[in-house]
Amino acid sequence: MAEITASQVKELRERTGAGMMECKKALTENNGDIDAAAEWLRKSGLAKADKKASRVAAEGRIVAAQADGKGVLVEINSETDFVAKDENFVAFTEAVANAALEADDIDALKSTKLASGETVEESRSALIAKVGENVQVRRMARIDSANTIGAYVHGGRIGVLVEVKNGNADLARGLAMHVAAMNPPYISPAHVPADFVAKEKEIALAQVKDTGKPADILEKMISGKVAKTVNELCLTGQPYVLDTNQTVEAALKAAGAEVLQFVRLAVGEGIEKQADDFHAEVMKQAGLA
């Protein structure tokens, strides 16, 4: 079998637009014959898959997997919500989530092999050719713990992992549902940054300083306002979504449990979506712009 060189891979990539791993495989399958490898890629539907890589992919799915004290979330993006619901895309995301249980980070995940024998990256390139859109394995989060891990995914759009000490699986999942719904930035007041509290005190003081009340009353008013704001931001201070008659803190206390950490991912957050100007595009195509 002929040795495949980096220059051959580079030439085939430039010629077909396929991914590096696909080009190397094509050359290997065709004994280094670039013409035959290019035809093989076209027949496999992999040619020009990489040409879609520059297109914005801000839709997609959050997927979760759990096993042996591990919990993972993975965000996998597509360009449209239509493809995000495609059975091929969904199957790929589920396979990647399971593979993520054995990967330490997103880079390691991309080179992890799936049950099919392909790496995540190879499977992603094949999926791009199949669905006709850019697909990106964007990010992952994981919790490894001897404590209870709760996982919840809402509609494929929001995913949460929660680590709970001394809590059971039902409580952990309920808390994950709460975090998905309410998106608290902090676990408890102890986790709120001191500079945020100081700024809230400054704002509260400006609101009450002209009321003419005694200093001790003003102090109580300020403390009350700040405490209310902080509690609304904290998981423990919010009414529990599964039982709004009690706070999350009360639910945890009743179970003798404690939340140690949580992570929440939402599809497309932080991605700047492209706003298509169809009028301008039509004018450009017509040569009128």
Given a contact cutoff of 8 angstroms between Cβ atoms, the answer to whether 142 and 71 are in contact is yes
Strands 136-144, 70-78: pairing kind: antiparallel
In angstroms, the Cα distances linking 114 to 20, 24, 269, 287 are: 18, 19, 27, 47
Can you tell me the mean pLDDT for 11-28? 82
Q: How far apart are CA 140 and CA 63, in angstroms?
A: 9
d(CA 93, CA 76): 7
Domains 6-47 and 53-144 share a fold: no
Q: What is the pLDDT of residue 171?
A: 98
Q: Is the pLDDT of residue 146 over 70?
A: yes
Residue-wise pLDDT for 99-118, tens only, equals 999 999 999 999 999 999 99
Reduced DSSP (H G I as helix, E B as strand, rest coil) percent helix, strand, coil of the chain, to 5: 50, 20, 30
Cα 222 from chain centroid? 38
CATH 1.10.8.10 describes domain 6-47? yes
Q: Which helix (H) or strand (E) holds 21?
A: helix 20-29
Cα 117 to Cα 32, 111, 140, 142, distances in angstroms: 22, 11, 21, 24
Per-residue pLDDT of 191-249, as tens digits, reads: 999 999 999 888 888 888 777 778 788 888 888 888 998 999 999 999 999 999 999 99
Closest CA to 115 of 125, 107, 123: 123
User: pLDDT per residue over 20-72, tens digit each?
Assistant: 888 888 899 999 888 888 888 877 766 655 556 667 788 999 999 999 999 99
pLDDT band at 6 (very low <50, low <70, confident <90, very high): confident
Q: How confident is the model at residue 282 (pLDDT cuts 50, 70, 90)?
A: low
125 to 116, 205, 225, 261, 266: CA distances (angstroms): 14, 57, 53, 35, 24
Sketch the domain layout of the chain as residue ranges: 6-47, 53-144
Residue 250, CA distances (Å) to 172, 189, 256 in order: 14, 15, 10
CATH architecture assigned to 53-144: 2-Layer Sandwich (3.30)
Tell me which amino acid residue 48 is.
K
Residue 20 to residues 8, 48, 53, 225, 261: CA-CA distances in angstroms?
11, 12, 13, 58, 39
Closest CA to 81 of 269, 283, 218, 267: 267
281 CB contacts (<8 Å, ≥6 apart)? none
Strands (DSSP E) found in 79-196: 136-144, 148-154, 158-165
